[in-house]
Amino acid sequence: MPAISSPGKTRGFIVPIGGAEDRSGGRLILRRFLRLCGHNPSIAIIPTASRKEDTGKLYQDLFRDLSSANSEVLNFTDRDQCDSPASLDFLERCDGVFITGGNQLRLSTTIGGTPVAKMLRRRNADGMPIGGTSAGAAIMPEHMIASGDEGATPRARMAQLAPGLGLSNKIMVDQHFRQRDRMGRLLSAIALNPFAVALGIDEDTAAFIGPDNIVEVVGSGTVTFIDPFDMRQSSVAEAEDGDVLQLTNLHLHVLKHGGRFNLDTRQPLPELGV
């Protein structure tokens, strides 16, 4: 569950990115994330999800080029490291956190339930922005899509869920959405928990979720919003593994760059300046 904000504090942005964000051109998403963190911010980079040894340094170099000379890589490779006083001290003092891509189960099994996870929830509740790409986006909600199959048709057991970081209980996130044909697994995941709004985020696209629960889409693709609040029928409870699911009365919205959505009212909003 999200941590409770301290008196006088406002919850920070969370920024799930669909993966493969632009890192060599205008770098719109990364620039905007850094602006949320303040002037010349200090950024904690968590590359735990990745098996590539240079992932943390890649983002450290990127952020240095984009005005953050004070980034630090916190590569938690086992749960014992999540008790490190030095790492926890940096997380306490930094201006923002960025979680890289890779395998979200590696993230959840390494940092879930540790002082690091608790620190991330508390700092975000008190105003610190947290961004994450691919696996780093998937782990943000209370319910995380851990794995699943590709395909447009929802089927029983198509998506496997696991506990996430719990920065928000209003959303569920799937990444690389259009590129990896994940409509079916997002629908099957939301059928298991018809409360949260499901966000299918394309590559090089981000959902900037503010403390007011207003989402703004930034990037070259789209974010697909699936709202199950009025769902009237779901066959998921009776279905056998692999059976096609029947789901009725879902609401679907597809928003591009500049599009906005209110997670409280579950309604799209006019674009800013329109």
Decide if 24 is catalytic: no
The one catalytic residue among 176, 188, 216, 234: 176
The one catalytic residue among 21, 142, 203, 216: 203
What is the 3-state composition of the chain as percent helix, strand, coil, each rounded to the nearest 5?
25, 25, 50
Query: Rounded to a whole number, what is the distance in angstroms from the first to the last CA of the chain?
Result: 35
> What are the tokens at 103?
């395998």
Decide if 176 is catalytic: yes
The number of CA neighbours under 13 Å toward the Cβ of 126 is 13
Contact (CB, 8 A) for 17 and 134: yes
Contact (CB, 8 A) for 29 and 204: yes
DSSP structure string for 182-217: -HHHHHHHHHHSTTSEEEEE-TTEEEEE-TTSEEEE
Residue 117 CA: distances (Å) to CA of 140, 161, 162 = 11, 18, 15
The one catalytic residue among 134, 168, 188, 234: 134
Decide if 203 is catalytic: yes
- What is the set of active-site residues? 134, 176, 203
